[in-house]
Amino acid sequence: MKTLDRRLLKTPDLNAERLERLKKLFPDLFTLEGKLDPNEFKKVIDLDLVPESERFEFRWFGKSGAKRQAFTPTQATLCYDKSRSVNPDTATGNIIIEGENLEALKCLLAAYRGKIKCIYIDPPYNTGKDFIYSDNYTEGQQSYLEQIEATKNGIKLDTNVEDGGRFHSNWLNMIYPRLLLARELLTDDGVIFISIDDHEVHRLRNICDEVFHEPNFIAQLVWTTKKGAQGMETGRHIVPNHEYLLVYAKSTEFKFLGIERSQAGFSNPDNDKRGLWKRQQMQRLGQGFPKRTLIDPKTGKKYTFETPYTQTKLTKWLNEGSVLFPQNNTKYPIRKEFLAEYKNKKQLVSMLGLYPTKASTQELYGLFADQKIFPNPKPVALLKQLFEVATEKNDIVLDFFAGSGTTAEAVLTCNHEDNHNRRFILIQIPERITQKTSRAAYRAGFNKISEITIERCKRAICQLHKKAAQMCSATPAKYHAVRANDNSTLVKGNSMTTGDKESLKKIGFKVYRLAKSNFMRVEFALDYTQPEKVLIETLNRYIKEKETQFFNKADEAAMLDEILLKNGFMLDYIRTQCKIISQNKVYEVKDQFKDCLICVDDSIKPKTLEELNSLKDRIFICLERALDSTMKFNLDRLFKKKLLIV
């Protein structure tokens, strides 16, 4: 069915792929009609050895439906929004997607599967107080879809097979399918960080053990949100001041890069040729270590003390001239510990330390002229530390619960400091802002959470550069909050300085919206009882009848984006018109991993066929409606398996 799926512009059908892999490995488990035989499959499992009553499994109501939801292809696509993008020509893969994240993840699947090095998400904590997502899921499905603008003209863009009365009826059914897709997107050496608190951490670990497999659990990191109770009173006289970061790898190939060692505390006052050093105590009094002895070669004085180091090692340091003896009898020898001795980077520890959320909130408010735009964002410094130890160079970082856009700012800050080119992909649901949800954001002119995401990224870019930083150092009260669709950033009055414009030219990002497919064929109802050849012929007639008028009015760029994305090309592809083709508009397309030729003209000219002969080693994509039987035959003979007809 690959040809049919390509014609329908389907995103990958993960369930069909799993069955196909199983069939290749164990063909005897399938019937002559190609269907999986449950009885034969049970024989392989041998239920007598694994009694159902003794089997460990994490189950909940709706789990099967949630899993099916993850593996169901979407009919949606991603539509480029040029008006809200910033310096798209220098975006270098930085992307913000406005839309429901489950469907957006499916749209990314064909192009980004196995290409995301790091995922960070801060999902709803299921407390009933979350600002971004209605994480109690008490709304009816239609009102929810209307709230996030996931319907258009009554056409549903989600992949729910049935209307169960509630969309994402509980927290587990919300997070499970998204994690299944997240794993598909990760590289083999990829990693996911998930922010969570005590409400759901135990259930989240159970889900992650299933999705990512228990051996790939890396750590449950803990970070402190505040120093103390800070005047809070609780019924049980205990105030939580920590949150967690669950860390899972895609496979055993992942390992942290380590933390760069600082020169703080090191110096070289005696100009030792071995370089920077610091004083290191050798004695450990009262800890039960054995006693060792060192003799000062200049004075002959003996120093006996408890130490974890062996006598051999102490003697070695003494002979190397790395031991300093005290000037009086009340102290013990110390050794010179050289920075060059450290062959490896510093290890990450599971207690990450204090990252006060109050401070991170104030930092965000500072970006928005002290307007309380968004409550309790995650600290940029915390995410920055994660990305520094897990990513490098051109890695992609994905956040599909983007919120205010902390992930983007952290990635940009990392790149600014180490001169790497990490890229971010953010997905944020366009939940409406009201006076009830956020009065400050509403009064500042923001209509959706995703507008805050986009605007924060603009302002973070501006802040990273010197001239913007100088402007930001002025009194915040002199600046006014701006609308997300305004190209100004931290503007004074109504003008934008030259420094701001120059700073924004250096970094950019593209904005995409989750939208209905550009092709009516996605609504074609398949009758799978018919042979594939019959289905393709029926589909061709449907396309000819329904899409002919549409193509005359279609946006060429939008069509190209959808066709290329669903055929595995990343959104930062480069497109140039092929100069050797004279009578058709044929584009050369290239992304980081692949390239092709594509033409969406309504007919392919005979002259074009001749000119394509020199390019026959490339993949060629064109529309079915552009081909008569003769041209189709000739193109198939020229490109063979590299011809993709949509």
Rg (CA), the chain: 30
- pLDDT tens digit sequence for 524-540: 776 766 777 777 777 77
- pLDDT tens digit sequence for 184-227: 999 999 999 999 999 889 999 999 999 999 999 999 999 999 88
First to last CA, the chain: 13
pLDDT exceeds 80 at position 10: no
Q: Which of 370-374, 476-480, 542-546, 618-622 has the highest mean pLDDT?
A: 618-622
Q: Which of 7-11, 322-326, 373-377, 498-502 has the highest mean pLDDT?
A: 322-326
CA-to-CA dists, residue 555 to 81, 542, 577, 603, 632, angstroms: 13, 21, 17, 17, 25
**Contact between residue 563 and residue 47 where contact means Cβ atoms under 8 Å apart:** no
- Residue 145, pLDDT score: 47
pLDDT exceeds 70 at position 613: yes
3-state SS record for 220-248:
EEEEECCCCCCCCCCCCCCCCCEEEEEEE
* Cα distance between residue 103 and residue 159, in whole Å: 8
Structure tokens at 185: 């997107």
- Residue 536, pLDDT score: 76
Lowest pLDDT segment from 7-16, 144-153, 303-312, 428-437: 144-153
Work out the pLDDT band at 31, boundaries 50, 70, 90. Answer: confident
Element counts in the chain: helices (H) and strands (E): 20, 22
- Residue 598, pLDDT score: 97
Q: Does domain 76-230+239-258+347-514 bear CATH number 2.60.200.20?
A: no
- Residue 138, pLDDT score: 34
Q: Where in the chain is the domain with CATH 3.40.50.150?
A: 76-230+239-258+347-514
More confident residue, 436 or 277: 277
- Residue 498, pLDDT score: 54
- Mean of per-residue pLDDT scores for the chain: 82
- Residue 528, pLDDT score: 65
